[in-house]
A and B are shown apart, each in its own frame.
Chain A
Amino acid sequence: MNDLLAILPELAVTLTAAVVLVVDLAVKGPGRLRALSLVALAGLLVAGIAARPGVIVTPYTAFNGFVVVDEFTQFFRVLFIVLAFIAVLAAEEYSARRQLPYAELIATLLFSTLGAMTIALSGDLITLFVGLELMTIPVYVLAGMQRRNPFSNEAALKYFLLGAFSTAILLYGFAWLYGLTGSTELRGIAAGLASTGLTGPVLVALALVTVGLSFKAAVVPFHQWTPDAYDGAPTPVTAFMSVAPKAAAFAAILRLVGVALQPLQIDWTVAFAVLAALTMTLGNVVALAQPSVKRMLAYSSIAHTGYIAAGVAAAQAGPQAWAGVLFYAFAYGLMNIGAFAALMVLDTEGTRGAALDDLRGLARRAPWPALAFTVLLISLTGLPPTVGFWAKVFVFLPALDAGLGWLAVIMALNAALAAYYYLRVVVYMYMLDPEGAVPDLAPARLVGAAVGLTAIASIVLGIWTDPLYSWAVSAAAPILR
């Protein structure tokens, strides 16, 4: 019974997904989509309450150590629930316009959320792996949701093939770890590695695990699925898959390398530092050259991965470093899902929409969404007084403390690059007049709510930063010693 209580939020999400499917069968008529949304949102609300944010839990395990509930778990649970909530808000109108199977879409999205939450609470390689797969497989389906659209199909297939490939690599790494230490429990592995010392086989396992997880987080050079998948998938799906799986991948990285591979910290910090530098630079440079805003956001999300990875690499600076990772993941999630939602205000054809030119003069046609989008872009750029500024500060300072001065310099330079392509969008919205045909505006009350909420959150968390940061600090504490 206590075991079940430990996973109460996960149970709530599961139940919600099931109810959504039932309601889909039971309710007919014009109110069906709204009913589905309400059920999903209510269920997520219940799950969020069950995750009890703000009450510090003393860490405990359940299911014989397969499940760990600590502040870290709570932090990510809340993050995933919030992201799913915003994704559902943003999806309804789009799905109605494009005739997507809405009930399946939210149910699948909720299952993916469940997987992400499972990663956050895993105390064992098995749980971790189940969580990863439970999160990823629904996303393959989601990416291909628009069945008649070739790009959507391409996105799903590519993501699936490469995802399967990387999963194999990761699983192979897990097998090596088990073989070397005789344990699948994360703390057991740490104990085993500490006693075996560092041998060739350990390095093989480490390399396999690093690469497998880097793929999930879209770290360069394992990122190439990202632009194609983000670009081709229906925009509400892109909004979700650009944030939740990425945050979950970092949850997995922190659990795995922070706990299980802790004895090898010297090695993986160097690897992550190099990969972080590569990732943010390549993501930003290629984003510069994108004429499509959706693709630009896809590449910029790679750049943000680099910043988060820099926080991972700064592990030697102590819990502050990973508090920065958690804070950044939270902030990034809000900003990025909001930015993609802002694109849905435009009723562009097909999945690949929103060229830079489509945004010309948007400020005059849709002043509120344009304003909210501007706030989000400023936050993504990392300017005060937004949450994006603090996110950068909180990974920047630990990088300096950890002696990664060169990485800090690269981070600063990259921030300047990012300013160019993010603020260019603002210029298009506010300073240029439309030329030729402009896409119609979509009816966007719910999407508007999603964009507005995230924009307001970006500012509020930028002015009232400490509660979230303090929470991130206490969430990072059980992981990094």
Chain B
Amino acid sequence: MDDTTLRVLATIVPLAPLAAFAINVFFGRWRLQHLTGLIASAALAISALAATGILLGTLGRHDAAIVMLYRWIGVGTFQIDVSFQIDQLSTLMMLVVTWISFLIHVYSMGYMHDDHGYWRFFSWLPLFVFFMLVLVMADNYLLMFVGWEGVGLCSYLLIGFWFEKPAPQAAANKAFWMNRIGDWGFMVGVILIFLTFGSLAFRDVFAKVGIAQSELLTAICLFLFLGATGKSAQIPLYTWLPDAMEGPTPVSALIHAATMVTAGVYMTARSTPLFAEAGPALLVVAVIGTATAVLAATIALVQTDIKRVMAYSTVSQLGYMFLGVGVGAPIAAMFHLATHAFFKALLFLGSGSVIHALGGQQDMRHMGGLKPKLPITYWTMLIGGLALAAIPPLAGFWSKDEIVNSAFFRGQGYEWFWAIGVTTGALTAFYTMRMLWLTFHGAPRDRHLYEHAHESPRVMTTPLIALAVGAALAGLVLGWPPDAGWVHQYLGPLFERAEAIDYSRIAVLATISAVAGVLGLGLAWLTYARRRPDPERVARTFAPLYTLLVNKWYLDAFYDHNVAGAFRWLFGASWAFDLAFIDGFVNKLAAGFQIGGRNLRRLQTGIVGNYALTIVLGLLFVGAAYAYLRLRQ
């Protein structure tokens, strides 16, 4: 592909959603109304096709293409271009983002059909996609930061989409504040990068990585990673994501499962050249990722809200991706990012379909037996669920297995990560089965809701089917054979290759994790279908553990009471201080300025003679000042 074509396509990819946003936000409310959904979806289709064009056109190419749109600003050495880096990593992200977004836009046309904020929804959603594309296509950290902040803003707007209700407002604020902490870390990291390397462009920074001291590099990476934990909902900044489920379900699927929350993973993978040299930074990433994976999976075991199960599952799966980056397998992490985008978007849209069918009910305790009522939803969600549970040959199996296996092959104690990862896999299978069973099987627990349930319209089920195909096949297509599949050959040139692949060991490990997955499924089936053991009795027997999990390890409460409490106390104290001293001072100052302003106004007498006198006095003053300066020299 010649450069001009590439340039045109790379411009179309982000610009199409931006155009849709501009059209819908200005004309949506009065003129276009329900056309806004069509416009946004069409724009996303264009964008997705352009991204595919880029993929096909650059397949043979191994170097990154830089598409410079324009120079944003250049003051001395501080030069920032608005330019894109088109390489395998960004192309993969572009494909995932545009195609999944397209499907979710189509789905939303059905899901949001009766909402009076329809045009608003289809303004913010393409705007989000635009910023997400800027984030993944940027060739420097500052432009990436623009996208980073932009997706945060859109996430805030969309979580609080139903802002008339208090819960979405609170959730939006929580997401915003937690992300601010992360963004602060990212910003500090970016500033440190500029001070250290004198540039923010990826290629310059990575080329000069050797000039930085190891400690400084570690600090940079840890600050960047703090940003990643905020955006990608990892310990300690993960509690906003479950609350973010207050937003419309397509938003949860797109932003809080498939794309935005993976931005941290992408950023860390993109910064691999920094992290690789940064001593303990990668180990920190691996530890945080693993701990988050376990923690979130255990909480997901006992959730009763279908979307919250999915939310904790997302947090857990993101933990896997960070584990992959942390153990030096960024390709496996990106692979899992891609497959996860399919099956998690599918599961969210499926649960959206269920919620839609039940008139807004999200609590699984009111569901049950919905399988005959919602056949398409059931079968697609089953595929998505098995993919999440990492049952071969579905997508999740291949990608997750590569991550945990990479930890095993690393040796030197990293086998522990593998062991925890496999165990968490069993937990994942358990809560997935539990969710599916409680929703679709058994006897209906709410007759009234059950009677009124109906399958969703075609516009919603078609995306489900498309995603289900992806969730079923993406792993095999992209990842077969293990550690040498298409995704490895494609991304390989970007990352240093690991040692030779030992298929006999892979086969053993794969069998172990497949067995773990089936074990989890079976246990859940026994518990919820056969009631052997009876789940209530289990809960009673292990009451302390159960309470611990239901209360999310008391971490939310700890945050609310202690951390937030401490902050609130701090805020209160500083507010009081503010009121008494700063405000007092500022108010005095402002009052002073007001009085000063009023008095100074009086100088403006309106009498020309006075003005002329002032000019003369000013002239004398300037003359005297010049003379004084001269005499002093």
Contacts and interface: CB of A to CB of B under 8 A. Distances in A.
Contact of B619 (A211, A290, A464): A211
A464 B608 CA distance: 45
Contact of B604 (A222, A228, A274): A228
B594 A158 contact: no
Given A162-B611, A469-B73, A470-B74, A285 B622 contact: no
Interface string A447-468: 0000000000000000111110
B617 A221 contact: yes
Contacts of B359: none
23 contacts: A166-B615, A198-B630, A200-B627, A211-B622, A221-B614, A221-B615, A222-B614, A222-B618, A224-B604, A227-B604, A228-B604, A267-B630, A275-B622, A286-B597, A287-B597, A288-B593, A289-B597, A289-B598, A320-B76, A464-B70, A464-B72, A466-B70, A466-B74
B75 interface: yes
A271 interface: yes
Contacts of A169: 615, 619
A466 B72 contact: yes
Given A162-B608, A207-B623, A285 B597 contact: yes
B572 interface: no
Nearest to B611: A224
B612 A165 contact: yes
B625 interface: yes
Most A CB contacts (10 A, CB to CB) among B75, B604, B610, B617 go to B75
B629 interface: yes
Contact of A206 (B598, B606, B615, B626): B626
Interface string B528-542: 000000000000000
Given A166-B615, A207-B619, A285 B73 contact: no
A270 B629 CA distance: 9
B600 interface: yes
Contacts of B626: 203, 206-207, 267, 271
Contact of A158 (B70, B608, B622): B608
A256 B622 CA distance: 17
Most B CB contacts (10 A, CB to CB) among A158, A198, A289, A420 go to A289
A370 interface: no
Interface in B209-258: none
Contacts of B372: none
Contacts of B593: 285, 288-289, 417
Interface string A194-222: 00001010011011101100110000011
Contacts of B610: 224
Given A289-B597, A320-B76, A466-B74, A162 B615 contact: yes
Most A CB contacts (10 A, CB to CB) among B598, B617, B630 go to B630
A469 B74 contact: yes
A394 interface: yes
Nearest to B586: A416
Interface in B576-625: 590, 593-594, 596-598, 600-601, 603-604, 606, 608, 610-612, 614-615, 617-619, 621-623, 625
A390 interface: yes
A282 B72 CA distance: 34
A207 B618 CA distance: 10
B458 interface: no
A137 interface: no
A203 B623 contact: yes
A287 B601 CA distance: 9
A194 B72 CA distance: 41
B448 interface: no
A469 B590 CA distance: 35
B145 to A, nearest CB: 13
Given A215-B615, A267-B630, A286 B622 contact: no
Contact of A271 (B598, B612, B622): B622
Interface residues of B, number: 35
B70 A210 contact: no
A163 B28 CA distance: 53
Interface in B60-99: 70-76
A2 B600 CA distance: 53
Contacts of A394: 75
B629 A267 contact: yes
Given A162-B611, A394-B75, 19 more contacts: A161-B612, A166-B615, A203-B626, A203-B627, A208-B619, A210-B622, A221-B618, A224-B603, A271-B625, A285-B600, A288-B597, A289-B593, A289-B594, A289-B597, A289-B598, A289-B601, A320-B75, A393-B75, A467-B70
Contacts of B76: 320
A419 interface: no
A225 interface: yes
Most B CB contacts (10 A, CB to CB) among A158, A221, A417 go to A221
Interface in A246-298: 266-267, 270-271, 274-275, 282, 285-290
B498 to A, nearest CB: 42
Nearest to A221: B618
A346 to B, nearest CB: 24
Nearest to B598: A289
Interface in B312-347: none
A286 B619 contact: no
Interface string B439-477: 000000000000000000000000000000000000000
Contacts of B611: 158, 162, 224-225
Interface of B: 70-76, 590, 593-594, 596-598, 600-601, 603-604, 606, 608, 610-612, 614-615, 617-619, 621-623, 625-627, 629-630
B109 to A, nearest CB: 27
B84 to A, nearest CB: 16
B618 A211 contact: yes
A402 interface: no
Nearest to B81: A466
Given A203-B623, A207-B622, A222 B597 contact: no
B600 to A, nearest CB: 5
Nearest to B626: A203
Most A CB contacts (10 A, CB to CB) among B76, B615, B627 go to B615
Contacts of A266: 629
A224 B614 contact: yes
A384 B120 CA distance: 24
A214 B614 CA distance: 13
Contact of B630 (A158, A203, A320): A203
A46 interface: no
A130 interface: no
Which 4 A-B pairs have CB atoms at the shortest separation, nearest pair first? A289-B597, A207-B623, A466-B71, A224-B611
B612 A286 contact: no
Most A CB contacts (10 A, CB to CB) among B73, B622, B623, B627 go to B622
Contacts of B618: 211, 214, 221-222
A397 interface: yes
A466 B598 CA distance: 41
Contacts of A466: 70-74
Contact of A465 (B72, B594, B606): B72
Most A CB contacts (10 A, CB to CB) among B73, B598, B600 go to B73
Nearest to A224: B611
Nearest to A207: B623
Contacts of A165: 612, 615
Given A158-B608, A286-B601, A222 B71 contact: no
A211 B600 contact: no
Nearest to B592: A285
